Amino acid sequence: MAKNKLNKNWLHDHINDPYVKLAQKEGYRARAAYKLKEIDESEKLIKSGQVIVDLGCTPGSWGQYVRRKLAGKDGGGINGTIIGLDMLPMEPIADMHFILGDFREARILRQLDTILAGRKCDLVLSDMAPNLSGIPTADAARMEHLIDLAIEFSQFHMKPGGALVVKCFKDMGFSQIVEHFRAEFKVVKQIKPKASRDKSSEIFLVGKGLKNPTDKNTALEEESPLDI
């Protein structure tokens, strides 16, 4: 009974959520688009001509927002490159490259490299979150792991002066995650968008300027030295 009441309360709140209504009106697949919109308007992250990668992009509302920011005034095509990666399928978004699979796998990274064609990203976005077990220590470890992966991805694929945006939760190892960000980025900001629900501990971290960018070719040589 309590679970049914909880589900009904959530459904009522969801249906009456102003951002849900706005997303339906403006054609976004999820209300999450407005979280990225607030972050972007605050930090001026998305600019014409950029290469932007969206990790964990499904269902695609962040990709939709980025596409609209990069779209030409005449509505034809975009000035820039958008690449989305996810282990879950996604309905296509115009002008957005989508790669289905785990970005830790060599096969997926080869597909990414083909699209990048030697370029580095200006911006990496991650709205990824773990499947929750209800065990606080386990969930915190899973959240930290996802953010570690996003940071590592950025070190390999992002320009030294680029930016990374990740989703965190204040009750999931947040202080350790912030310390890790401060160790890896020159500028770190915490942002709680108005579009995040008041009851949620959700918060976003923005890291600008890599302290330790990694040259992928050098790293590969170090991992796999040639036999001479």
82-110 per-position pLDDT tens digit: 999 999 999 999 999 999 999 999 999 99
Confidence of residue 214 (pLDDT cuts 50, 70, 90): confident
Name the CA radius of gyration of the chain, rounded.
18
Q: Which CATH number among 3.40.50.150, 3.10.400.10, 2.40.50.140, 3.40.1260.20 corresponds to the domain 32-223? A: 3.40.50.150
pTM: 0.88
- Adjacent-strand bridge partners of 121: 158
In the chain, what are the domain boundaries? 32-223
Q: Is 227 annotated as a binding residue?
A: no
Confidence of residue 75 (pLDDT cuts 50, 70, 90): low
Query: What is the rounded CA–CA span in Å between residue 90 and residue 150?
Result: 20
> How high does pLDDT run on average in the chain?
89
110-127 per-position pLDDT tens digit: 999 999 999 999 999 999
Q: Is 74 annotated as a binding residue?
A: no
48 vs 10: which has the higher pLDDT: 48
- Indicate if 208 belongs to the active site: no
In the set 35, 37, 69, 167, the catalytic residue is 167
Provide the Cα torsion 106, 110, 116, 117; round to 10°.
Answer: 140
Q: Is 10 annotated as a binding residue?
A: no
